[in-house]
Amino acid sequence: MKTNRSLLVIQSVQGKIHSPRAGKNPYRINRNGMPQILPATGGITYNVQIGDTCMGWVGDHVEPGVSIQSENDAENIALNLLACIGNEARVITGDAKGAKGFVTGKHGGIDHVLIYFKKSDLEKMAINDTILIKAQGQGLEIVSHEDIKCMNIDPELFEKLGITVDNEGILEIPIVTEVPAYLMGSGIGSPTAFSGDYDIMTGDSEANKEFGIDKLRFGDIVLLRDCDNTFGREYLKGAVSVGVVVHSDCIKSGHGPGVTVIMSSKTTKIKGVKDSNANIANYLSVQD
């Protein structure tokens, strides 16, 4: 399968480790109307990383590893647009200077870029440490499959996904599970899928079991049925999107594990092949 990888620009973007925040009213209201105080987005999350379950944590929208953001709004938009899953990230200030990791996802709304580092490196990091990303991936195209829009993924990681093409020209990609469009919630209607994520709703426990959502892990690759992400995010019968699980389950109505999309087609040109090992932690050899 041939791509335009050799033509893609590699460009620096950077941000600082972003502290968790809380308002004067610190409560988060769960889907049953009950207020809770919980860990949520931002900071350095020491005991949650890709490959771990994204379900059951005592938290809300928990982001694995390190969460970064730029203090400049325009620069943060560029950071969130250009950083792609699998891009190399390097710490350039603080006690962990020189440590390398990689981007694991992008979280819309809070507009964080999420990054994996080894646990030993996390212990040396602090809020406001600066991290530089070698951004590459936006504009990736598959030759002779221009109707499939690729986004948000490093081309080297893309080549590790085990994608094949069948005799009818349909792309077959390993996935952990398929999710129907009626379970996609927060983030629907966003004007672009080249930044951020949108959530699998988890309020129905039977649906969680039926589609294997209760077993999802950070970094799992999932197929979204009848979901069009080629421009914005919407329902379209026959469309197929593929994405990576980037943040944890949530307590709020209409929310759940977040998915950053990496491929989308308005037609059934993408087919999922069930594989429990379809997780970026495996493709990028995460060991701790």
Return the closest-CA partner of residue 250 out of 113, 108, 59, 32: 59
Q: What CATH homologous superfamily does 148-283 map to?
A: tm1086 (SG structure) domain (2.102.30.10)
Rounded CA separation 184/202 (Å): 9
Query: pLDDT band for position 286 (50/70/90)?
Result: confident
Mean local confidence (pLDDT), 36-47 = 96
The structure tokens 């969460």 sit at 67
Who's near 191: CB < 8 A, 6+ residues apart? 231, 232
Question: Which positions ≥6 away from 63 have C-beta within 8 Å?
Answer: 41, 42, 45, 105, 107, 112, 114, 246, 247, 248
Give yes or no for a contact between 88 and 23, defined as CB atoms under 8 angstroms apart.
Answer: no
**What's the pLDDT band for 137 if we cut at 50, 70, 90?**
very high
DSSP of 132-192: EEEE--TT--BTT-TTEEE-SB-HHHHHTS--EE-TTS-EEEEESEEEEGGGB-TTTT-S-
Q: Please tell me the CATH code under which domain 5-135 is placed.
A: 2.40.10.170
C-alpha pair distances (Å), 162 with each of 157, 158, 174, 229, 288: 10, 8, 7, 22, 23
Say if residue 253's pLDDT is above 90. yes
The segment(s) of the chain belonging to CATH 2.40.10.170 are 5-135
120 pLDDT band, cuts 50/70/90, is: very high
Q: What is the predicted pLDDT for the residue at 169?
A: 87
pTM of the shown model: 0.96
Query: Among 143, 163, 140, which residue's Cα sits nearest to residue 151?
Result: 140
Residues 92-113 pLDDT 10s: 999 999 999 999 999 999 999 9
Q: What is the mean pLDDT of the chain?
A: 96
CATH 2.102.30.10, the chain: domain bounds: 148-283
Q: What is the pLDDT of residues 193-241, one digit of tens each?
A: 999 999 999 999 999 999 999 999 999 999 999 999 999 999 999 999 9
Q: Where residue 72 falls among pLDDT bands split at 50, 70, 90?
A: very high
pLDDT band per the 50, 70, 90 thresholds, residue 1:
confident
Span 72-76, mean pLDDT? 97
How confident is the model over 152-203, as pLDDT tens digits? 999 999 999 999 999 888 999 999 999 999 999 999 999 999 999 999 999 9
Query: 163-172, 239-248, 273-282 — which is least confidently predicted?
Result: 163-172
Judged against a pLDDT cut of 80, whether residue 258 lies above it is answered with: yes
Cβ count within 10 A of residue 19: 12
